Structures are given as structure tokens and as C-alpha cells.
Structure 1
Amino acid sequence: MENKKLNEMIITMRRQLHKIPEVGTELPQTKKYVVDKLKSLGLEIKECSLDSGMVCDIGNVNSGNIVAIRADMDALPIAEETGVEYASKNGNMHACGHDAHTACLLGAAYYLLENKDRLKNGAVRLVFQTAEEISKGANNLIKDGLLDGVSAIVGTHVGNIDSGMSNSEFIIQEGGLMASNDKFIIKVVGKGSHGAYPHSGFDPILTASQIVQAIYNIKSREIIATNPVVISICVISGGSQYNIIPSEVNIEGTFRTFSEENRKFIGSRIKEISEYIAMANRLKAEVTIEWGCPPVINDKKIADELTQVCKELGFKKLPQFIPSMGGEDFAEYQQKIPGVFIFFSTMTEKNIPHHNSKFEIDESQLYQPTILMSEWAIKHLENK
């Protein structure tokens, strides 16, 4: 199939998926769309029993030699404001490019079937997962055994990755690419009182402010400065009247790192700091750590293979990329299987970031990640 024809096919599928964005783990319309496309190609599908995810294999499935290509399918609860003719009207939006990821993986199904005679040594597993945005989809597929037998995995993320990138440029590199993504929730419980008589209560607002300052000190005073760490408190809520001290305040935030040691340390310290500062002020802090996903750490051998394929195909690659503090549950696969996560720049002149109601992508080169990942899979299996 010519690149132009493949790209047109991917664009058509991407726009059809863009119209039906769904969030979370249950994606009935999206699942039906993908299943129908795969079945029309004569492919056998294995569905996840825990959500709307699925996988299918192309090639010599009896070889015991399997590599995987992954795409996420979920959207975001954002009302779209792009004004394009294929815009979503259901209150959700593909504002992170997952519609393109899914379309590119469906494109890979067509490409791999055309090259099936080159897959005598093994099979390629196409992995369609849900709930990347809430870090649940990858684990669901793993728990359901749908990654069993896979020896290597790759995936690509499109969009406005870095302002220093040119359009249609890949980021392929070994080591840390994206940070861990964990959440903390702190409920500071005190005793409300009138603002004129603070001595008659236990002030959770004052205590919450002390907790916030102390948590920010973890990075600056307890972790070596050369270790990348981000701690951000993004929600503080409490109170309803200007002259009434409330009985409780809620704090929510996130912490990101490339070190599992730092990850556990920060979670532990947030809990200790919050509880002891609250205790010192005669209040109580209830701390919940919601562990998200670990950091994305790319395998050197697979990164080298992808770089070589990228060069052979004549595609552009950024020489070096400063790792992102954003998170990705592709990391869950990498806990079990050697893998590489790739970035592909599809920024437009508007340069709109992900998770924005006006997010858009340049569709003109979407065939490139499809072919890069497919050719990597074929060559990796040929060399096994």
C-alpha cells in the first residue's frame, strides 16, 4: 500500500473515532468500531474481561515469538471547541490524540497483513487499551493475561510534544522518558468556629497552609538536587463564608519522579508531614496516596532497533529530548516486558497543547508511526 493511501485511510479512521470519544474503562462505541475493522480484515480478537480493551495477533501465532504494538483508545471529559466538521458533540473530546493512536494501530493491521509473508518467525500483537488517562487500562490487560507471551512492546504518542521539535519528528531514546504519576489527597479535620473567636476552634486553614509549605520543602531540602522531582499541590478547598472558620480543608496534588526510591519516599513523607503538623496544631490529617503508574524507562536495545529502522525509512528523529514530567501507563507494560515509548510531533501552527478544548493535530504524516512500529516489529522478529 502506498504511503499516501495508507495515510488517507488512517485520517478517515481517526476522524470517525474523533466523533465518538468515550472516557474511562468502558468504551462501547469505540470498541465496536475497532472490532468491526479488525473482523473485516479476518482477524481473531481476544477481548479483555475487565474493560473494553482487546488484542489481536497477526503472523505466525504458533511460533511462541510475539512482539506488541500498543494504542490507547480513551478520551477526556472536555467539551470540544475546535469547530471542525468531525468535532465531537457528546461532551467528551479526543484532546490527547488517542483517536490518532487507535487509527494508526488499525493502519498497522492493514500494513502487517500486506507484509504477512515476512512474519514467518513470529507474530505481532496489536494492543488496544482503555483508560490511559486514569492509569487503569494497561494493568487491566496485564491482569487479564492478554500480554502473556509478549517479549517486547512499543507505542507512540502524537501531538505537540516539545516546542523545540519540528513537525513529523520522532523522539526515540533509551532510559527515562516520562515520570511516575501519583496523587495525594489530604483531609485536614479540625473544629470550626466564628472568625472573630478562633481560639474556640481548631483552624484547618492555618494547618493546611503549614502542610502545603512543608510538603514543598521535601523537594528542596530532602532530595538531592540533581534528581528530577516535581511536587504540585493543585487543589485546596474549604470554607464557605468570609467570617466562618470551617471544620475541614481538603488538599489534592501530584508528585512525579524517575526513581522508585524517591516515589516511595515522597509518598511516605507527605503522610508523615501532614499527620504530625496536624497533630501539633491539635487537628487530624487523613492522607490517601493513590499510586498511579511508574516512570516510563525505555529499553536500550529496542530503542537502538527503532532508531535504525527510523533511519532506514528516512524519517526525522530529534537528537536528544529532555525527559518529560508527564506520566503514561505504558510504563506498566515496561514493568513486565522490555519496551520503548516513542513521541511523534504532529503540532500545527496554532501550537495547542494536549488536554485543551481546541487541541488539534497535523494529520499529514500519520502513516509514519504506523510504518515505523510495524517495520520494527517485522525486523525484530526476523532477527530473533
Structure 2
Amino acid sequence: MDYKKLNEIIVSMRRELHKIPEVGTELPQTKSYVMSKLKELGLKPKECKKDSGLVCDIGDRNSKNIVAIRADMDALPICEETRFDYASTNGNMHACGHDAHMACLIGAAHYLLENKNKLKGTVRLVFQTAEELAIGAKNLINDGLLDGVKAIVGTHVGTIATDVPNGEFVIQEGPLMASYDKIIIKIVGKGSHGAYPHSGVDPVLTASQVVQGIYNIKSREIIATDPIVISICMINGGSQYNIIPSEVVLEGTFRTFSEENRKYIADRIKEISESIAYANRAKAEVEIIWGCPPVINDKNIVNQLNEVCKQLGFKKALPFAPSMGGEDFSEYLQNIPGVFIFFSTPTKKNIPHHNSKFEINESKLYQASVLMSEWAIKYLGENK
């Protein structure tokens, strides 16, 4: 297939999708657009019963030799400030590259259809909602739309791989992205006048000690060579400079690459919070909202992708330090071997994700479509 033409198709779709960003699980405009483009190719998408997600098969529909390629569809509640002529004006923004992910996956459909005679099975295109909320992958899995899939890959564009030049892939085995879970801690005390703290139970003082105690988990309870992040990012409480409130609420997150550490940190956050609160005559109510496990890439599929990348003449980046950011692609990897790829697409401005001025270099987007498609062809041929 003509790569230049394929890239033009992808860029055009990406810009059209960029104009209609939607957040969460219900993405009616986005879903309609994706389905129309797939149907134009003669394909028959299958809709998820739980949200706006969908899947679409290319190849032998009766084959039990199935691989999947995934894209996420949701945007962020950010007002765009890029000033592009295709900028969003609805108060949401594709500030994380999901518009490009969808366009590249539809681009893969174009490529796979032109190479359909090479397919020794089925390629399932997976379009999921709510990656930003860590819900979409679970919805598709629970709806049975990944049943029978033997392997899965996905690609993330943008600037996650810091300092990697445009058009280079990060393809590596083992940990790539961390687990991510949410902490909510309510410290309940007894309100009083700021001049008479002895007459109450100070939740502000208690909360400050809880934060310090939680941060000590990383530095004093887990081996220093294990990557761990624990961050309290919100502290809410109080209404007046001279009134000690009755309660304070802390919210934050913790990240790790180990399920053992993940459980340990959650348990210790609860123990430390409750103990410190008790020592201060207060009470701690701890809630852990489980997000997603870490993204751990499969060695054999990494080797296949490396071979394909080399054969295509695409560039691969040097080894990349795993990101402490999270991705619900990890939900697929709980039962299906797979690989999540970073594809670096920075512009000269090198603007980070989730920024109102986020932008990507569109010049080599076709490479993501071709790499994932050729991997699918290779996998199906080698694992009949």
C-alpha cells in the first residue's frame, strides 16, 4: 500500500475525530464516526452492550486463530487552546492522542484489507471507551468481546517516551507502565475555635501526620530498587482561618509495578492512617479505589514486533525507563499475552499530554498502522 496515501487518510480521520471529542463511556458521535468508516470498508462492527465500545473482525470469521489491535476513543474535559482550524470547540479535547489511536486503527483496517490474502486467521479491531476512567477495557472484556483472542497489541502516540525523536517506537519486554489506584482518607475529629484547640480534636494536624506517615512507606518499608510512587494530591477541609474543622479529606494515588507491593501499600495506608488518627483521638476512614494493574509486556510478542519493525525499516528507540503513568490496556494483559507500544510523535514544542495545547507530529502516523498490521499477519502465520 502507498504509505503516503495511507498517512493522508489517517491524518484526515484524526482531524475529523479531533473536532468531536467526548468523555467517559458514552461517545455517540465518536462511535458513529468510527462505525461509518468501518462500514465504508465493507466491515461489520459489533457493538458493546455496556457502553459505546465496539469491535470489528477482518479475515476468517470462523477461525479460532484471533489476534487483536486496540485503540481507545475517549477524550478529556479540557478546553482546547491550540488554535488549529480543526480544534475542538465543545469544551472537551483529545489531549492524549486517542483521536490518532482511532485513526491509526482504522488505517490498519485499510492496510489489512489490502493484505487480506496474507491473513491466516482473524484480526479483531478493538475500539474501547473510557481509558481515562479505567472502565472501557473491563466493559469490553465483561461483554465477551475479547473472547478467543490469543494475543493483543496497542500503541500510544505522543510524548510519553520523553526525548525520543518523532517516528521512533519503544518496544520492550517486561514492565512498561505502573498500576494506578486511588486513595481517599477522611479524618474525622471535633471542630473547635482556633484559639482553643484543646477543646476539640484537630483533623488538620492529624491529616498532616498521616501524609508524612504514608510517605514513609516508600522510603522505609519497601526496597529502594523497587519503583514506587505515593502522592497525596488533594487536601480539603476548613472554612475559616480561625476555626478548626471537624473533618479533613485527603485524596491521592499510588503506583507500582508489583502486585505484591500494590496490596502491601494499600494495607499499610489503612493501618498507618487509622493508627495515627487513633493516637490523636480522631478517626480515619480509608477507601482504596482500585484502578488498573501494571502493564507488563510479553517477551515473545516483543521479539515478533522487533523483527517486524526491523523488516519494515522503522526506527526503534533505545531502552526506555518504565513510566509511572497507568493504562487500562493492562486489563487485557491479565488474560491475554500482549504488548503496549509507545510511538513518539512530538512536535518542536514537545507539549505534554493532558495539556490544553497538546499537539502531535502527524507525519509518520502510518507507521503505527503498518507495524501493528504486519505483526498481526506474522503472529497469525506463526501460530496457526
Instruction: Tell me which interval the TM-score lies in, with the shorter structure as reference length.
Output: over 0.9
2:302 aligns to what? Answer: 303
**Aligned amino acid, residue 131 of structure 1:** A
1:77 aligns to what? Answer: 77
Q: Please give the alpha-carbon distance, in whole angstroms, between the structure 2 residues aligned to 1:37 and 1:94.
A: 19
2:339 aligns to what? Answer: 340
Query: How far 1:161 moved relative to its partner?
Result: 2.2
2:130 aligns to what? Answer: 131
Q: Please give the alpha-carbon distance, in whole angstroms, between the structure 2 residues aligned to 1:313 and 1:162.
A: 21
Q: Deviations over 1:130-175 (max 9, x none)?
A: 0000100000000000000000000000001233311110000000
1:203 aligns to what? Answer: 202
Specify the SS of the correspondent of 1:286: strand
Query: How far 1:39 moved relative to its partner?
Result: 1.1
1:287 aligns to what? Answer: 286
Correspondence list, 1:232-251, <5 A:
232-251=231-250
Specify the SS of the correspondent of 1:211: helix
Query: Mean Cα displacement is larger for which, 276-285 or 12-21?
Result: 276-285
Q: Please give the alpha-carbon distance, in whole angstroms, between the structure 1 residues aligned to 2:163 and 2:44.
A: 42
| Residues 1:216 and 2:242 aligned together | no
Q: Deviations over 1:242-263 (max 9, x none)?
A: 1010111010010000000000
1:181 aligns to what? Answer: 180
Correspondence list, 1:1-384, <5 A:
1-119=1-119, 121-384=120-383
Give me the identity figure in percent: 76
Q: Please give the alpha-carbon distance, in whole angstroms, between the structure 2 residues aligned to 1:259 and 1:331.
A: 13
Query: How far 1:94 moved relative to its partner?
Result: 0.3
**Aligned amino acid, residue 303 of structure 1:** V
Q: Please give the alpha-carbon distance, in whole angstroms, between the structure 2 residues aligned to 1:272 and 1:93.
A: 40
Q: Deviations over 1:13-60 (max 9, x none)?
A: 000000000001110100000011111111111111111000010001
Alpha carbons 2:161, 2:170 under 8 Å: kept? no
Runs (5+) with no aligned partner, structure 2: none
Specify the SS of the correspondent of 1:379: helix
Query: How far 1:279 moved relative to its partner?
Result: 1.2
**Aligned amino acid, residue 297 of structure 1:** I
Q: Deviations over 1:215-270 (max 9, x none)?
A: 00000000011111000110011111110101110100100000000000001110
* Number of aligned residues: 383
Alpha carbons 2:55, 2:124 under 8 Å: kept? yes
Q: Please give the alpha-carbon distance, in whole angstroms, between the structure 2 residues aligned to 1:213 and 1:179.
A: 23
Q: Please give the alpha-carbon distance, in whole angstroms, between the structure 2 residues aligned to 1:252 and 1:189.
A: 15
Query: How far 1:359 moved relative to its partner?
Result: 0.2
Q: Please give the alpha-carbon distance, in whole angstroms, between the structure 2 residues aligned to 1:113 and 1:267.
A: 47
Q: Deviations over 1:309-346 (max 9, x none)?
A: 00000000012111110000000000010000000000
Query: How far 1:192 moved relative to its partner?
Result: 0.6
Q: Please give the alpha-carbon distance, in whole angstroms, between the structure 1 residues aligned to 2:233 and 2:168.
A: 32
**Aligned amino acid, residue 82 of structure 2:** T
Q: TM-score, normalised by structure 2?
A: 0.99
**Aligned amino acid, residue 62 of structure 2:** N
Q: Please give the alpha-carbon distance, in whole angstroms, between the structure 1 residues aligned to 2:26 and 2:176.
A: 28
Specify the SS of the correspondent of 1:133: helix
Specify the SS of the correspondent of 2:132: coil
Runs (5+) with no aligned partner, structure 1: none
Specify the SS of the correspondent of 2:182: strand
Q: Please give the alpha-carbon distance, in whole angstroms, between the structure 2 residues aligned to 1:148 and 1:164.
A: 38
Query: How far 1:379 moved relative to its partner?
Result: 1.1
Runs of 4+ in 1 over 6 A off after TM superposition: none
Q: Please give the alpha-carbon distance, in whole angstroms, between the structure 2 residues aligned to 1:227 and 1:74.
A: 32
Alpha carbons 2:161, 2:342 under 8 Å: kept? no
Q: Please give the alpha-carbon distance, in whole angstroms, between the structure 2 residues aligned to 1:82 and 1:272.
A: 46
Q: Please give the alpha-carbon distance, in whole angstroms, between the structure 1 residues aligned to 2:361 and 2:45.
A: 31
